[in-house]
Amino acid sequence: MSANASTNDRILDAAERLFAEEGFHATSLRQITQAADANLAAVNYHFGSKQALLLAVFRRRLDALNQARLERLDHVLDAADPPVLEDILKAFVFPAMALTHGRHHEGQRFMRILMRAFADQDEQLHRALSAEYAHVMRRFADAIATALPGTEPVHLRRQLDFLVGALTHTMAESELEDAESIASDLVRFTAAGLRGTVQPIARSGARRAMEIAR
């Protein structure tokens, strides 16, 4: 299958596999190009640098992940109004878990790179990805605000960061046997954390109107 693929794709596939198996820095471009049946210089030609190659590997997976999240979120928002908090959180957590435990072993590998490189490295990659998927975070924050009216936006963004941290850490850490059970725990934990720390905004006209409307 990868034999017929373009050089670009063969390099991406080989890089993802090797990064996950050996680690980013432990993998040399010579290993990658050899596995991809390409010339050493092909990496710099197609991607610019080793760092940029890593970014491309990420993007391919994260695009799919975040699209799956948003689609699931849409379904949740269509199903109930106001939406159920737990369902929103599941829409965020479960596609990530599915990625690591799909039938393709690649996904499982991938999340280890994700977790590792999410923190590691050059600041650039991290900031690039954060900015690229900021709109996903905002859509989830908005949805949660709908499910939990009266939430202070600043605190909500922070708490979403708590969730992201817990999720990535757990996924990279756990032995991945009982991933579904862990995901459920995380959703329950986060829902309780959010419900328990709702910061009602200072009483304003809008807030009072909302109370009346209920």
Q: Is 21 in the site for a copy of itself (CB under 8 A)?
A: no
Q: Which of 37, 63, 180, 185 binds a copy of itself (CB under 8 A)?
A: 185
CB nearer to a copy of itself: pick between 39 and 130 = 130
Residue 42 touches which member of a copy of itself, DNA, none, C-beta under 5-8 Å by kind: DNA
User: What is the distance between the alpha carbons of residues 6 and 128, in angstroms, rounded to a whole number?
Assistant: 26
CB nearer to a copy of itself: pick between 127 and 208 = 127
| Amino acid at position 50, single letter | K
Residue 46 touches which member of a copy of itself, DNA, none, C-beta under 5-8 Å by kind: DNA
Q: Which of 166, 165, 164 is nearest to 182 (CA)?
A: 166
Cα–Cα–Cα angle for 122, 91, 183, nearest 5°? Answer: 80
Residue 201 touches which member of DNA, a copy of itself, none, C-beta under 5-8 Å by kind: none
Nearest distance, CB of residue 32 and DNA, angstroms: 8
Nearest distance, CB of residue 16 and DNA, angstroms: 15
Nearest distance, CB of residue 115 and a copy of itself, angstroms: 5
User: What is the distance between the alpha carbons of residues 48 and 138, in angstroms, rounded to a whole number?
Assistant: 31
60: burial class by Cβ within 10 Å (0-12, 13-18, 19+)? middle
108-127 footprint of a copy of itself as x/- string (CB under 8 A): -------xxxxxxxx-----
* C-alpha count within 13 angstroms, C-beta hemisphere, residue 88: 25
Q: Which of 61, 145, 168, 207 binds a copy of itself (CB under 8 A)?
A: 168
User: What is the distance between the alpha carbons of residues 214 and 49, in angstroms, rounded to a whole number?
Assistant: 56
Residue 23 touches which member of DNA, a copy of itself, none, C-beta under 5-8 Å by kind: a copy of itself
What DSSP state is assigned to residue 73? Answer: H
Nearest distance, CB of residue 128 and DNA, angstroms: 15
* Cβ(14)–Cβ(39) below 8 Å: no
13-52 footprint of DNA as x/- string (CB under 7 A): --------------xxxxx------xxxxxxxxx-xxxx-
Helices (H), 80-122: 85-101, 105-119
Question: Using CA atoms in the order 60, 66, 163, 57, what is the torsion angle rounded to 10 degrees?
Answer: 0
Residues that bind DNA (CB under 7 A): 6-8, 27-31, 38-46, 48-51
